[in-house]
Structure 1
Amino acid sequence: MNMNQRSVLRDGRWRRRVLCVAWLSSALSGCALIHHDTTPYTEIAPEQINLADDIHLARDGWPAARWWTRYGDEQLDALIDQALANAPTMVIARTRVAQARSDVELVSAGTGLQVVALALLDREHVSANGFLGPFAQNEPALGLTGPWYTEGVVGLGASLNVDLWGKQRAQVAASLGVSNARLAETSAVELEISADVAQLYYGIQTTYQLIDLLNELHETAEFAVQAHEARAARGLEARTLLEEARAQQLAVERQIVSAQTQIKQFRESMRALVGAGPDGLPAIEPVALPRSQAALPPALSYELLARRPDLQAMRWYVESSFDRIDAAKAAFYPSFDIKAFFGVNALHLADLFTHASQQINLIPGLYLPIFDGGRLNANLGGAREGSNLLIEQYNQAVLNAVRDVAQTGSRLQALDAQTELQKQRIESIAFTRDSVEAHYQRGLTSRLAALQARQPVIAEQVALLELRGQMLSQEIALTKALGGGYRAAAPVELKPR
């Protein structure tokens, strides 16, 4: 080999190296630039997830699963079970979960190998002035039978996206996050329905007892009307007392009608909540109100986050937004895919399935996002701002959850103190009633006076009943605020990216 040949060889190697380096440099620098990416917001500090020191109840602890069974009421158990099975809101929640799972399957399907079978028949007139101009001639000796051809293609096509930078993995993770959020939302709907059913049920039971007390009050008012009517007829007293007694009787009757209407409204609300037809709601028999069993844990902190299904759902949405940010960042880098075809291809159908018509294509592809008009940066910015918005919504939801627990706990404290004071008040007023009753038994006063002495006691018993009803309502609200026995097996940990 002479010097000139060696020089040419060295020049050729040098050119190939330069081209290779240039190609690698283009590939590495070919990705679009991230012009701006804001700092992710932070989640709420743990010291803000707690109650004031002066809020506490006689019992402590978290609600248990199926918390409503602690009241030992079979009617309530049956109503809540019926609601959880048939309520339209539950059907909607389950449908949203199924939809999210389908979305996960759809996104996951795009990450694997795609294979399709294809068949193509093309009857074509070749242009003599086009790229295939020579084939427009009819020269059988040269293998040209134009200008008409019937091309056939049969085979298998395949494609595979190589996820070098984790874009597809991030998209799958984002869809899984949404699916997990929908599952937590289903638990939140279950808690909402069970609490609403319990509230309505004990609203009905409280009103039943209110009607019983009003009936007692009506009996005394009715006897008073009869007594004053008889005395007025004999001229022993003015008719004014009779009209006052009748007005009191009518007021009590109006309260009874109002209470009966309230029960009907409660039943209709219950029927709509349960999803029952006109005759689908069983009769609700009166039962005694249960004793208060409200309990408040000594500390909340991160345990509240794990026990509130709505907060867990929001955490999953936030985590999903982080995965969408990862996918948006990965879109800035080169993407790589491989396409392949194996089959037969012929200009004449008679030659289609011959050995000479076999065709194999293997096409690796590299795509470099260089100029995109700002689309990738806009996509990243939207993903980041959407994530920050979710973080702030989550932080506010946590503060609202702590507020709900604190307010409900303080109301229960106050109601408990008011109930004890009301019981003492009834005892004091009952002393006067018992004294007048004793005078009546000895013949020292009239039956009218004895019955009228019962009225203040009954009125105070109505006030006590209202307090007990409010305590039950707030106890159920506290159970709901504490998550109703829900507990995430592995609470999601937020890791902003």
Structure 2
Amino acid sequence: MLSTQFKLALSAISVAVLAGCVNYAGIHAKGKLNTPQDIPSETVLDVHAPAAVNWPQDKWWEKFEDPQLNRLIQDALASNPDIAEVQARMDRATAFMDYANADRYPSVDAGAGISRSRLARSDDYAGLGNRYITLRSLDVQFGYTFDLWGGKRAAWESALNRATAAEVDVQSARLNLAASVAKAYNQLAFSWELLDLSERDLDRLEKMLTLSKQRFKLGLDNQSQLKLVEGLRNRASAQAIEGRNDIEISKLQLATLSGKGLDRALSIQRPQRMKPYVDGLPSNIPAELLGRRPDIVAARLRVEAELKNTDAVKADFYPNINLVASVGVHSLIGDGFFDSVSKFWRIAPAVTLPIFDAGRLRSTLRASNADLDVAIAQYNKTLNTAFHDVGASATQIHSLAGQVSEQEKARASTFESFTLAHDRYNVGQDSFLDYLNAERQLISDETQLALLRSKQVDASISLLVALGGGFRTAH
């Protein structure tokens, strides 16, 4: 009867203890991962880029067929400090992953020691004191915390996802760096083309100034007209100087991006004109883009990392078992060190159960869920930005194609007008001034055309980056 009553009491106490334990009821994340269906974009993408093309391939910059550009990008990927920084972050994340993995396994430590001491009379059983003893010890200690609820594995998986995200960050940094070099190279090509046009305009105004001086001496023009032409000539000269400066600045930017020092700029030659080679979008972008943009993949991995971290925190709410054991020898007698009387062993299992912690565990879980919500929000933002990048680049390419087409027609008409003015001047039907004015409009149209073509190349590079630049996740 007593035994039955004792069992009932023990059961009641157990239920009460478990009921009073810390729990995580009511704590959960609030965020929701968006999908491509949550941000419909197919109609806009189809309208602005109807042509179906393949996804970009790795080393997409080789499509520009410029060996100098290839070397500059290779130098940048090998030597730019930005790449070294993200690689160091990847190494750090990998180290934390290895640490979390090691925490799942038992620990074994060995110790050895020797000590010499003088006994006080109060410590001497014989009551004599003034005795000296030498203690020799050798032991092996074993420790293990059982992962009953999967908390340690979840912590390791969380660290694994963070390390993988850091690895993907390296690919993202490489993609953005290659794009920066390609755009800077395109700017250099445009600056050189602009300088050619500026020098042509300067030459035109030099001739116009010579003619104006002659007309002033003959009384055909007044001083105001002469000064106006002088001002135009000086302005053109300043633009030519600025053009040369733009070339040097672009070279220095490329040298800095390459990570090879400013002297690298001295070996950079005039680029050939770059031509865009992307004029459409691949099919099935909403589904495919998620696995082809490194920033999206990294953001998703960080969401998975926070999910696993939340699981690890929840495991701390449950009871767990620790096991500590040791075996070895202690001896006061040197020649009896390994005798049976010197040997010892100890095993100490322990059960831990959180009952009251003033809200520490619940606060930790709330913080973990908040981190998860942050990761989800960042993923949704990254996904939204990715579709914007694709749409904006495709729209710009579509618009620039129309602008270039119209500007080419304008340039063709202006060139025809310039040719007619040249012919009329040769037969004496127009003045040299009329001929120079026709050339001015031609230079203006060619400058605008060069600008639009440069923008086309930049938009093409932006679209390549927006489509992931050949990245393809294996995760």
The two structures have a TM-score, normalised by structure 1, of 0.87
Shift of 1:125: 6.9
Does residue 1:38 correspond to 2:23, yes or no?
A: no
The aligned residue for residue 137 of structure 1 is 125
The aligned residue for residue 190 of structure 1 is 174
Residues 58 and 225 of structure 1: is their aligned pair in 2 closer, same or farther, counting only changes over 3 Å? Answer: farther
Residues 200 and 220 of structure 1: is their aligned pair in 2 closer, same or farther, counting only changes over 3 Å? Answer: same
Shift of 1:30: 7.8
Which of 266, 270, 276 pairs up with 2:250?
A: 266
Residues 166 and 359 of structure 1: is their aligned pair in 2 closer, same or farther, counting only changes over 3 Å? Answer: same
Which of 88, 91, 102 pairs up with 1:95?
A: 88
Kindly report which structure 2 residues correspond to 1:294-309, keeping only aligned pairs within 5 A, or say none.
294-309=279-294
Shift of 1:126: 7.1
The aligned residue for residue 338 of structure 2 is 353
Aligned partner of residue 324 in structure 2, secondary structure: strand
Q: How many residues align?
A: 471
Contact 2:139 2:326 in 1 (8 A): yes
Residues 14 and 348 of structure 1: is their aligned pair in 2 closer, same or farther, counting only changes over 3 Å? Answer: farther
Partners of 2:120 and 2:100 in 1: how far apart?
A: 44
Shift of 1:226: 0.9
The aligned residue for residue 175 of structure 1 is 159
Aligned partner of residue 221 in structure 1, secondary structure: helix
Contact 1:115 1:156 in 2 (8 A): yes
Does residue 1:464 correspond to 2:455, yes or no?
A: no
Residues 28 and 344 of structure 1: is their aligned pair in 2 closer, same or farther, counting only changes over 3 Å? Answer: farther
Contact 1:154 1:343 in 2 (8 A): yes
Aligned partner of residue 462 in structure 2, secondary structure: helix
Q: Deviations for 1:134-183, whole angstroms, at most 9, x for unmatched residues?
A: x64216xxxx9898654432111111121111111011101101100001
Aligned partner of residue 118 in structure 1, secondary structure: strand
Residues 345 and 375 of structure 1: is their aligned pair in 2 closer, same or farther, counting only changes over 3 Å? Answer: same
Contact 2:17 2:355 in 1 (8 A): no
Kindly report which structure 2 residues correspond to 1:11-90, keeping only aligned pairs within 5 A, or say none.
31-47=21-37, 48=39, 50-53=41-44, 54-90=47-83
Shift of 1:328: 0.5
Contact 2:48 2:394 in 1 (8 A): yes
Residues 22 and 362 of structure 1: is their aligned pair in 2 closer, same or farther, counting only changes over 3 Å? Answer: farther
The aligned residue for residue 332 of structure 1 is 317
Contact 1:151 1:345 in 2 (8 A): yes
Partners of 1:271 and 1:321 in 2: how far apart?
A: 40
Q: Deviations for 1:316-336, whole angstroms, at most 9, x for unmatched residues?
A: 111000010000110011111
Partners of 1:392 and 1:312 in 2: how far apart?
A: 14
Partners of 2:30 and 2:262 in 1: how far apart?
A: 53
Runs of at least 5 residues in structure 1 that lack an aligned partner in the other structure: 1-9, 491-497
Letter aligned with residue 459 of structure 1: S
Letter aligned with residue 56 of structure 2: P
Letter aligned with residue 410 of structure 1: T
Contact 2:120 2:130 in 1 (8 A): no
Letter aligned with residue 34 of structure 2: I
Does residue 1:394 correspond to 2:379, yes or no?
A: yes
Letter aligned with residue 137 of structure 1: Y
Contact 2:93 2:166 in 1 (8 A): yes
Q: Deviations for 1:185-213, whole angstroms, at most 9, x for unmatched residues?
A: 00110011000000100000011011111
Runs of at least 5 residues in structure 2 that lack an aligned partner in the other structure: none
Partners of 1:67 and 1:113 in 2: how far apart?
A: 48
Shift of 1:431: 2.6
Residues 290 and 224 of structure 1: is their aligned pair in 2 closer, same or farther, counting only changes over 3 Å? Answer: same
The aligned residue for residue 6 of structure 1 is none
Letter aligned with residue 103 of structure 1: F
Kindly report which structure 2 residues correspond to 1:90-489, keeping only aligned pairs within 5 A, or say none.
90-121=83-114, 136-138=124-126, 150-281=134-265, 282-346=267-331, 351-489=336-474
Contact 1:31 1:369 in 2 (8 A): yes
Residues 96 and 41 of structure 1: is their aligned pair in 2 closer, same or farther, counting only changes over 3 Å? Answer: same
Letter aligned with residue 50 of structure 1: S
Shift of 1:58: 4.0
Partners of 1:28 and 1:348 in 2: how far apart?
A: 51
Letter aligned with residue 174 of structure 2: E
The two structures have a TM-score, normalised by structure 2, of 0.91
Structure of larger gyration radius: 1
Partners of 1:30 and 1:123 in 2: how far apart?
A: 51
- More displaced stretch, 380-389 vs 403-412: 403-412
